[in-house]
């Protein structure tokens, strides 16, 4: 079994894995970082989104060995200690989650969206950008609100930038 090494949430992580091991399996099973979820088997739901070298990636669509040497951030690594990331805060404040299963992927996608598109996001942009994330609970209304608010608060002085 080949060895794979990467940095996950700022810490080095190394393991021997079967070549077919997906990044999401490596995170969930080898590192026990179970905040990243698996909601489908066709790369469509986005429950598994993490950041690889600062970019949103569906971790079910990448082999662990492809992430060799990469810098990976998962939902567990987003907050700064006990201080929540502004996007996490916004999801709570705007009731952007119900069962919570899609939520880690939604939040990681949202942070990436802000990194790419800036802090002023209109509803239309947010809805288009959520193309790769499915939520069955919320009807998206409050997710869209949360992302708009989270984006703004990521831009204001008090809040720090995304973890990367």
Partner 1 sequence: MSATGIGAPVRRKEDYRFITGKGQYTDDLTRPGQTYITFVRSPHAHARIRRIDASAAKGMPGVVAVLTGADLAADKVGSLICGWAITSKDGSPMKMAPHPAIANTKANHVGDPVAVVVAETQAQAKDAAEKVVVDYEVLPAVVDPAKAQAKSAPQIHEVAPGNTIYEWHLGDQKAVEAAFKGAKHVTRLDIVNNRLVPNAMEPRAAIAEYDAGNDSLTLWNTTQNPHVARLVISAFVGIAPEHKLRVIAPDVGGGFGSKIFIYPEEVVCLWAARKVNRPVKWVSERTEAFVADAHGRDHVTHAEMAFDGEGKILALRAKTIANLGAYMSTFSSSVPTYLYATLLSGQYEIPQIYCEVDAVYTNTVPVDAYRGAGRPEATFVVERLVEVGAREMQIDPADLRRRNFVKKFPHQTPVIMAYDAGDYNASLKKAMELADVKGFAKRKRESARAGKLRGLGYSTYIEACGIAPSQAVGSLGAGVGLWESAEVRVNPTGSVEVLTGCHQHGQGHETTFAQVVSDRLGIPIENVSVVHGDTDKVQFGMGTYGSRSGAVGISAIVKALDKVEAKAKKVASHLLEAAEADIVFENGQFKVAGTDKVAAFGDVALNAYIAHKFSGQELEPGLKEGSFYDPTNFTFPAGCHICEVEVDTETGQVEVVAWTAVDDFGKVINPMIVEGQVHGGIAQGVGQALLENTTYDTDGQLVTGSYMDYTMPRADNLPSFRVETTETLAPSNPLGIKGCGEAGAIASPAAVINAITDALGTEEIAMPATPAAVWAALQKVNQSRKAAE
Binding residues with ligand FES: total (CB under 6 A): 22
Q: Taking the complex as a whole, how short is the minimal distance between the CB of residue 43 and ligand FES, in angstroms?
A: 5
User: Which of 86, 91, 89, 104 shows the shortest CA–CA distance to 163?
Assistant: 86
Q: Look at residue 150 and give its three-state secondary structure.
A: helix
Q: Lay out the site mask for partner 1 across 8-37 (x = CB under 8 A, - = otherwise).
A: ----------x-x-------x---xxxxxx
* Among 14, 19, 40, 68, contact with partner 1 (rule: CB under 8 A): 40
Stretch in the footprint of partner 1 (CB under 8 A) among 63-71, 114-122, 132-140, 152-160? 132-140
Alpha-carbon 146 to chain mean position: 15
Structure tokens at 143: 């997710």
- Contact between 96 and 106 (Cβ < 8 Å): yes
20 interface partner picked from ligand FES, partner 1, none, CB below 5 to 8 A per type: partner 1
Give, as ranges, the residues between 65 and 124 that touch ligand FES (CB under 6 A). 97-103
* Among 13, 35, 46, 72, contact with ligand FES (rule: CB under 6 A): 46
Q: Phi first, then psi: what are they for 76, rounded to 5°? A: -70, -20
| 69 CB-contact burial (10 Å; exposed 0-12 / middle 13-18 / buried 19+) | exposed
Which residues, including other chains, have CB under 8 Å from residue 65's CB and lie 6 or more apart? Answer: 2, 4, 17, 19, 21
Task: Give residues in contact with partner 1 (CB under 8 A).
Answer: 18, 20, 28, 32-42, 44-45, 47, 74-76, 78-79, 84, 88, 91-93, 95, 97-104, 107, 123, 126-128, 130-131, 133-144
Tell me which residues touch ligand FES (CB under 6 A): 38-40, 43-48, 58, 60, 97-103, 135-138
């Amino acid at each position: 079994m080949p060895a794979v090494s990467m940095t996950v949430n700022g810490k080095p992580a190394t393991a021997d894995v079967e070549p077919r091991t997906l990044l999401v399996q490596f995170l969930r099973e080898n590192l026990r970082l179970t905040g990243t979820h698996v909601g489908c088997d066709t790369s469509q739901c986005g429950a598994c989104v993490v950041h690889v070298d600062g970019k949103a990636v569906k971790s079910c669509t990448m082999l662990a060995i492809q992430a060799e040497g990469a810098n990976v951030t998962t939902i567990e690594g987003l907050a700064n200690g006990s201080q929540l990331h502004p996007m996490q805060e916004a999801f709570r404040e705007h009731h952007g989650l119900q069962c919570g299963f899609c939520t880690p992927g939604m939040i990681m996608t949202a942070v990436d969206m802000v990194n790419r598109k800036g802090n002023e996001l209109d509803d239309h942009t947010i809805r288009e950008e959520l193309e790769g994330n499915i939520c069955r609970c919320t009807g998206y209304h409050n997710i869209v609100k949360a992302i708009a608010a989270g984006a703004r608060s990521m831009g204001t002085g008090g809040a720090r930038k995304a973890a990367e």
